[in-house]
Amino acid sequence: MPFNSFDHYPMSWKPNKNQLRRPIYRSLAQLLEHDINHGFLAPGTKLPPQRELADYLDVNFTTITRAYKLCELKGLLYGVTGNGTFVGANAARSVTISKEHNSNKVIDLGFVASYEQTNEMVSEVIKQVAEKNYLEQLLNYNDPSGIPHHKLAALNWMQTLGIQADTEHVAIVSGAQNAIAITLFALFEPGNRIAVDVYTYANFIEISKMYQIRLVPILGDEHGMLPDALEEQCQQMNIDGVFLMPSCANPTTIMMPIKRKMELAHVIQKYALILIEDDFHAFLSAGTIDHYGQPMYQMLPNQTVYICSTSKSICSGLRVAYVVFNEVFKSKMIKAIYNVNVKTSSLDVEIITELILTGQAQKIVERKKQLAEEGSQLFRKYFSLSPQAGHPLSFFRWLPIPQSKKNLLTERYFLDNGIRVFHSNRFLSSFSKEPDHLRVALSSTSNMEELKVGLKLLSELLNLYQR
């Protein structure tokens, strides 16, 4: 007979004993998943200790361990030895951020687009490409990892970002998200652990959940992830990789100075982690910002997959990204690219290549920088920036907001009032006590006037929200 009287000190979760079928651990995990997904267990809830629940259900405590673990792999829970097991911040919902059909009344400061105003410059080049007399050669199955000529343009482009590589160690894929999916697929297995910033790219959290990668949040400061914190976690558990966006972390806008990169590289090397370096804002940093230095790929070529998307810098709709890797990863990466994509449309890549080789891409970048500068100025008009404001040209801002009990309803509140923004919780893989933020995209409205209206409305709403 159980020692405690459970009625007096009720557990946070009491599964119905009668609903349990064999195997118990699966059945229990199912009940747990159901209760989380249906809101009976709020994010952050501390679950009953394994032994206590086991006692209550009259089973061995490792049966509970196993049930909890199933849910952990699905990204619903996380456990802390000596402390307890908790429901994850985003257990109950998908945090995927995608472009949605808004009603016309809503101004989208949520999804980060890329100042799509520049796309007409691309249309021109499409017409030029269509006149080429070798179009047929772009329409077959040849060169699954990219036509050599396209790869050369890629290397040319990435050279300005500080990347040195050759055509044998670059491949063309369909955008950065696609590159991430392929890299996870190629180099990681379900159950592996990847270290991430406490706040990290929401779609990375989501794809990790899907592929059953366990994320290990690492503390950071104003220069990004802390090497000591990473090392500590590496000592404590078996970590397989680390995901970083050094050129401008999403959502925090932190740009990692070269010094921090080197310190982190040291730890990454020491523990033989695989680094996924998503350098999506490099085109706004390299050659523009002093202490930017170079990509981490250059420090750790044998351990890094470097991802350079052209979606933010050149054109979002053509879905072209470059992936750079060393010989050790090559065969696995090529195989994964084939398994996921077969290949990326050579027509699209031809257009990007033409943009690069004719110098049009550089003009687009200049224009986007200009727009980013304008967007930033508008933002500063309505909100004060802290001295540690992150990347000056970032396509989005990380705006501290007062703590509120609304919490999960925050996004709803703004949406109902005509603004789409994302709450910091969406970028959490476990939980955090840091102050709440909003991520505010500056690059998604169709013009600056709309952005201005949006930011003004947001600042007004925020004043009301505080009370």
Partner DNA sequence: TGATTTGTGACTTGACATTTC
Partner DNA sequence: AGAAATGTCAAGTCACAAATC
Query: Which residues fall within 8 angstroms of residue 208, CB to CB, at 6 or more apart?
Result: 75, 184, 194, 214, 215, 429
**What one-letter code names the amino acid at 395?**
F
The answer to whether 96 contacts its own copies (rule: CB under 8 A) is yes
Q: Shortest gap between Cβ of 29 and its own copies (angstroms)?
A: 12
Nearer to its own copies, 126 or 448 (CB): 126
Which member of 42, 80, 139, 272 binds its own copies (CB under 8 A)? 139
Nearer to its own copies, 35 or 143 (CB): 143
Give the span between the Cα atoms of 345 and 317, in whole angstroms.
Answer: 12
Nearer to its own copies, 316 or 429 (CB): 316
Give the span between the Cα atoms of 156 and 151, in whole angstroms.
Answer: 8
Query: Which residues fall within 8 angstroms of residue 97, CB to CB, at 6 or more apart?
Result: 110, 111, 112, 202, 203, 422, 426
Do 154 and 172 meet the contact criterion of CB atoms below 8 Å apart? Answer: yes
122 touches which of its own copies, DNA, none (CB within 5 to 8 A by kind)?
A: its own copies
CA 178, 180, 181, 185 torsion: positive or negative? Answer: positive
Choose one: 52-60, 112-120, 263-271, 398-406; the region binding its own copies (CB under 8 A): 112-120
The answer to whether 22 contacts its own copies (rule: CB under 8 A) is no
Nearer to its own copies, 4 or 339 (CB): 339
Nearer to DNA, 50 or 90 (CB): 50
Positions in the binding site for DNA (CB under 7 A): 22-26, 47, 49-52, 59-63, 65-66, 68-69, 72, 79-85, 235-238
Question: Cα torsion at 23, 24, 30, 36 (round to 10°)?
Answer: -170
The answer to whether 177 contacts its own copies (rule: CB under 8 A) is yes
The answer to whether 185 contacts its own copies (rule: CB under 8 A) is yes
Query: Which residues fall within 8 angstroms of residue 428, CB to CB, at 6 or more apart?
Result: 89, 90, 198, 199, 205, 217
Do 322 and 158 meet the contact criterion of CB atoms below 8 Å apart? Answer: yes
Question: How many other C-beta atoms can be found within 10 angstroms of the C-beta atom of residue 407?
Answer: 15
The answer to whether 98 contacts its own copies (rule: CB under 8 A) is yes
Q: Shortest gap between Cβ of 73 and its own copies (angstroms)?
A: 9
**What one-letter code names the amino acid at 219?**
L
Q: Shortest gap between Cβ of 171 and its own copies (angstroms)?
A: 13
| CA 315 to the chain's CA centroid | 19
278 touches which of DNA, its own copies, none (CB within 5 to 8 A by kind)?
A: none
The answer to whether 441 contacts its own copies (rule: CB under 8 A) is no
Nearer to its own copies, 346 or 353 (CB): 346
Q: Shortest gap between Cβ of 232 and DNA (angstroms)?
A: 8
